[in-house]
Amino acid sequence: MSDPFIALVDDAGGSGPLEGLRLAVKDLFDLAGTPTGAGNPRWLETHGPAEKDAEAVALLRAAGARVVGKTVTDELAWSLNGSNAHYGVPDNPAAPGRVPGGSSSGSASAVAQGLADIGLGTDTGGSIRVPASYCGLFGLRPTHGRVSLEGVVPLAPTFDTAGVLTRDARTLRLAMEVLLGAPEEAHAPITRLLAPRDIWDEQSEATRAAVMPAVESLGLEVDTSPFFDDPHFGVRHDTGAAAGAVTPLESARRAYAALQAWEAWQAHGAWIEASRPEFGPGVKARFAAASKLGSADVTGAQRVRSGVVALVRDRLPEGTALAIPAAPGPAPLIGQEPDREAIVRLTCIAGLAGAPGLALPAGTVEDLPVGLQLVATPGGDEALLALADPH
């Protein structure tokens, strides 16, 4: 286990709606005068100090937040576990001896330990929502493109987003309103939840028992109709596994994995080949597999992505949110291999559709936190935040 911070910052802070709140910054975001390490020592060696703050950091600072440090991230943000081969595993006080979740691991850990009030992170495939679930926190993955990623190390640009983790809904709403700015158009309040049985039936009995009461406690209409009602959705999609029919949700997961890997190699392949970084086992294997993909390998995945975009548009009109677990269960033990595929089946819908995803503390499984995930139509960020913090 390790400290969530890789560098402490002495920032006086300023005035504004976030005045007095401490900000922990994931080490993908530039801080002026400080090198950005992206969770890998070789990246740190090959990149100089940042000339200016990342836009998201600048906005939060201008609103009064006080930066207290940069935090550990999984290498180049390509993990959901929260275990860095070079910098260790930040503590998870909500689940001692277990991982905090990645790749926004240090930001989640700092907030969960009370060392910061706002944890700035990124979410490509669940890297805010999963740590929130494991650590008993609130977190928002915003609509893709609504929060600037200027000055942020990318992973998969058509999926990457920047959001925050907090201990309470009010702080989450305050911080995200600063990052989101004024909406282009108002969205209707959420009055209906879709808790589709085809997704819930895949979850363990313990997770269903812990999370479903949180859905019901919101006091809204709950519809359990399937999310994927087309039996042919994605059946012909194959990203390298044995050909054959798969469930629509698994098809979506495979599509996400293929597209993310393709984009990650386009973003970092040249640097990897030139700089020869040493990666931890999981990240090393993912980049090695990504290096072998060609454009033809992602054609089918792009078709599936278009299908998910259409489903989100149809199933989640304004006023409706998808309600599913934020993770398939509590945080794994340190050193235990997580079920990455089961996790991504729950997080990939928001990613593929560019939709906002809110994680809320929901309940416990064997006294360990598990979270609820609410996904709205793209642009529905404020409606999700109002549902979490109605005052």
127-147 pLDDT, tens digit each: 999 999 999 999 999 999 999
Of the pLDDT bands very low, low, confident and very high (cuts 50, 70, 90), residue 38 is very high
Looking at residue 391, its pLDDT comes to 74
Chain CA centroid to CA 375, Å: 12
Q: Give dist(CA 157, CA 267) in Å, integer.
A: 8
Q: Is 103 a catalytic residue?
A: yes
Looking at residue 231, its pLDDT comes to 58
Q: What angle do CA 147, 151, 154 make, to 5 degrees?
A: 80
Tokens of 121: 């992170």
Chain CA centroid to CA 291, Å: 24
Q: Is 127 a catalytic residue?
A: yes
Each residue of 296-328: pLDDT tens digit? 889 999 999 999 999 999 999 999 999 999 999
Given a cut of 50, whether residue 237 has pLDDT beyond it is: no
User: Residues 292-296: what's their mean pLDDT?
Assistant: 90
Of the pLDDT bands very low, low, confident and very high (cuts 50, 70, 90), residue 13 is confident
Question: If you search the block for the tokens 């910061």, which residue do you land on?
Answer: 116
Which residues are CB-contacts of 326 (< 8 A; sequence separation ≥ 6)? 126, 129, 130, 132, 133, 346, 347, 359, 360, 362, 370, 371, 372, 373
Q: Give per-residue burial for 62-77: e unless 16+ CB within 10 Å, then b.
A: ebbbbbbbbbbbbbbb
Which one is catalytic: 104, 107, 109, 127? Answer: 127
Tokens of 170: 């009010």
Percentage of the chain exceeding pLDDT 70: 96
Given a cut of 50, whether residue 243 has pLDDT beyond it is: no
Which one is catalytic: 26, 104, 107, 251? Answer: 26
Looking at residue 232, its pLDDT comes to 54
Q: CA quadruple 361, 363, 365, 368: dihedral positive or negative?
A: positive
Which one is catalytic: 83, 103, 107, 109? Answer: 103
User: Residues 213-217: what's their mean pLDDT?
Assistant: 98
Q: Is 15 a catalytic residue?
A: no
